[in-house]
Structure 1
Amino acid sequence: MSSSFLRTLGLMSGTSVDGVDVALVETDGERIAAFGPSLTVPYPDHVRRTIRAAFGAELPNAATAVAETAVTDAHVAAVKQWSAQHGIALGSIDVVGFHGQTITHRPEKRFTWQIGDGCALARAVGVRAVCDMRSADVAAGGQGAPLVPVFHAALVRELDRPLAVVNIGGVANVTWIGEDDSLLAFDTGPGNAPIDDWCVRRAGRLFDRDGSLAASGKVDRTRLERWSEHRYFARTPPKSLDRGDFTDAWTDGLSAADGAATLTRATARAIALAARHFPQAPNQWIVTGGGARNPTLLAAIAQETGKPVVLASSLGWDGDALEAQAFAFLAVRSLRGLPFTFPTTTGAPKPLCGGRLHLPS
């Protein structure tokens, strides 16, 4: 292997607040030499509650301090568990890409906040760490999201284009990749977050496993059509969302099953509406993220888009690890000073690099 390739560990905790994803990638920030083992470590319920209590904060307070410590400790524990489980010494890792946990994302205020102490993590695992990968873009007037399109482009080099890669986490985002490798990326709308919140409030469960609750309900078409007129969908990208920009409140009054069905269809509708902004219609939609494990949602996306829906896993991608892999890739780009946000992905004024490097000592 070329000495330009680094063994990089990527860490991701998304807005669904499921847990910490850890993934190994060997990359030079442009090419991917190999993917290594990955691991997902769920957050304990008390950690989820601690993180959620900090959502929306714009200034440090007691809740954000407790949440940051919890997030950092959970990531350190996940890295050490990954190392022990796979028998890979942390001393063999060149760099860690640490996304942190988004608690507030307000690019219109030039503000985004991913909690997690990169310095403490680097010291605890003994490996240099790159963190704070969104702030530079937001400070320059970009949306700060999505960050993974340049990684998606590296993954699809051998596939027929144009195509769209949809990542469905708490918020859903899409990367459109043209035949000439041109990129367009933006948040499509809600992902799993409103469905999860509805399940917590109305069904006494953390999420809709396999989309079973939604499958048992009926979509309220009148509410859905009214919701589809939200001004966000007509806005020209690049554009991005905070987890709380789309809530489950508009389905209040429905049964637990009908609300889940309507919210699930809404996520699919928002993804389909994204296509109005593409330069060309995609040949296929590749779906990854937590939403890829929801067959009811996948069926709704296929119906709403009228195009084939392809699971990332069917292409040999590890859908559960994909975002963690992306942040490993971005960490190396940061070290090399390569851009990972662009005018057509975040609305940045020019291609920008980002991230802050923390040394273990």
Structure 2
Amino acid sequence: MSDLYVGLMSGTSVDALDIALCRFHPQFEIVAAADYLFQDALRQRINQACLDRPMHLDELLQLEQDYTEFCAASVGKFLDEHAEEREHIRAIGFHGQTLRHRPDIGTTLQMANPSLLAEHTGIDVIADFRRRDLAADGEGAPLVPAFHQYLTAQMQRPLGILNLGGIANLSLFSEDDKVEGFDTGPANTLLDQWIGLNLHRTYDENGSWAATGVVNESLLRTLLQEPYFAKPAPKSTGRELFNMAWLEAALAQQPILEPQDVQRTLVELTAVTVAQSLRHPLPKLIVCGGGASNSLLMSRLSAHLPQTEVHSSDTLGWPASHIEAAAFAWLAMCHVKRDAGNLPSTTGARGPRVLGALYPG
């Protein structure tokens, strides 16, 4: 049996740890996948750590330890359920939890203790994927376009893949297979935070709450004035910019709005900023990430891209909610094989680089 790789991903929406067990030869296959929801207390602590506020070093260290213990326990449960595959696992790709992403000063912080995960599992762990790209003057993100290029190697170009995680990122493949990739702006992170604040839910299932509201055009115009949207690629962003303080600053310029109208406007913001990022008509756009299950958002993407066939990666047999975790399994494989994991055309790095660091199991 060929080597298997595990990918772990918890994104800026801070809802769950996504785990994907993958095979890459002779062809890509997600052998098994699962989501492990964060306990409310842990999720709240992570969200607090993402805010631009002072944090005691001991508090951060304890949070990192608790987060990694949760990841290790989740991986342990997952491997127990797939015990027959365990001996074939070559490495685990551990992204960690992004607390800060600051390409403007050449650094990023993904909270993780890969040594602890390696100790718990006895399996090699590859972690710290982004900083080598940053060291080479790249943005350190997005990293998934390289995986998207691998995934779609046999598919007709031009083609786009849109990942709707906390942040929306786009991979574009031209007819001659040139690759462009960048973050378009917010997706689930603001939607999840707004519904959490108003209805105490972790996310808006199928966009059903947003669907009860209407787009507030004045708020949408204000949000679209954000300079990031006009910035040329390569570019990357995160919760350092697109957070509740950013939204509340825009809301302060409006009369009091119904909460569901704000949610509906945030859906429209994601769809509009994705559509505006496409300079040329695209025949097909494959959507993955948690946002692919938001039927309202998917319908708005289709409405703003009338010449484009928009569909979920589920239709290709690629589970939309686990593609990003699979990407970090693939990046772990690239590290093991000493293959480059970045695409300079998407991150702006000086050249291809092997990403990550090895923590032996």
- TM-score, normalised with respect to structure 2: 0.93
2:191: which partner in 1?
195
Gaps of at least 5 residues in structure 1 are: none
Letter in 2 for 1:287: V
1:264 aligns with one of 244, 264, 267: 267
How big is each residue's C-alpha offset from its partner over 1:287-346, in whole Å with a ceiling of 9 and x where there is no partner? Answer: 110101111111111112222211110111111111111101011111222112122111
1:161 aligns with 2:157: yes
Letter in 2 for 1:41: Y
1:2-21 alignment, distance < 5 Å: 5-21=2-18
1:16-55 alignment, distance < 5 Å: 16-27=13-24, 32-55=27-50
CA distance in 2, matches of 1:70, 1:152: 32
Letter in 1 for 2:48: A
Tell me if the contact between 1:50 and 1:63 (Cα under 8 Å) persists in the aligned partners: no
SS in structure 1 at match of 2:22: strand
1:69: which partner in 2?
65
CA distance in 2, matches of 1:350, 1:87: 39
Q: CA deviation at 1:62?
A: 2.6
How big is each residue's C-alpha offset from its partner over 1:178-205, in whole Å with a ceiling of 9 and x where there is no partner? Answer: 2332210000000111111111222232
Gaps of at least 5 residues in structure 2 are: none
| Mean Cα deviation higher: 237-246 or 118-127 | 237-246
SS in structure 2 at match of 1:357: strand
Q: CA deviation at 1:68?
A: 0.8
Q: CA deviation at 1:23?
A: 1.0
Tell me if the contact between 2:28 and 2:151 (Cα under 8 Å) persists in the aligned partners: no
Q: CA deviation at 1:79?
A: 1.0
How big is each residue's C-alpha offset from its partner over 1:196-249, in whole Å with a ceiling of 9 and x where there is no partner? Answer: 111122223222111111100010012212322322122110100022312332
2:172: which partner in 1?
176
Aligned residues with identical type, % of pairs: 35
Q: CA deviation at 1:119?
A: 0.8
1:288: which partner in 2?
288
Tell me if the contact between 1:32 and 1:154 (Cα under 8 Å) persists in the aligned partners: no
CA distance in 1, matches of 2:242, 2:94: 26
Tell me if the contact between 1:56 and 1:104 (Cα under 8 Å) persists in the aligned partners: no
| Mean Cα deviation higher: 156-165 or 115-124 | 156-165
1:1-361 alignment, distance < 5 Å: 5-27=2-24, 32-56=27-51, 61-88=57-84, 90-247=86-243, 248-249=247-248, 250-251=250-251, 253-276=256-279, 280-306=280-306, 307-360=308-361
Tell me if the contact between 1:186 and 1:238 (Cα under 8 Å) persists in the aligned partners: yes
| Mean Cα deviation higher: 221-230 or 105-114 | 221-230
Tell me if the contact between 2:49 and 2:55 (Cα under 8 Å) persists in the aligned partners: no
Letter in 1 for 2:47: R
Q: CA deviation at 1:160?
A: 2.0
Q: CA deviation at 1:33?
A: 4.6
Tell me if the contact between 1:50 and 1:66 (Cα under 8 Å) persists in the aligned partners: no
Tell me if the contact between 1:152 and 1:165 (Cα under 8 Å) persists in the aligned partners: yes
CA distance in 2, matches of 1:67, 1:272: 38
Q: CA deviation at 1:281?
A: 3.0
- Equivalences, count: 352
Computed over aligned residues only, the root mean square deviation of the Cα atoms, in angstroms, reads: 1.8
SS in structure 1 at match of 2:49: coil
How big is each residue's C-alpha offset from its partner over 1:162-181, in whole Å with a ceiling of 9 and x where there is no partner? Answer: 11111111111010012332
SS in structure 2 at match of 1:241: coil
CA distance in 1, matches of 2:187, 2:28: 31
Q: CA deviation at 1:108?
A: 0.4
Q: CA deviation at 1:59?
A: 8.2
Letter in 2 for 1:291: G
CA distance in 2, matches of 1:142, 1:41: 32
Structure 1 residues 126, 281: closer, same or farther in 2, change over 3 A? Answer: same
Letter in 2 for 1:300: R
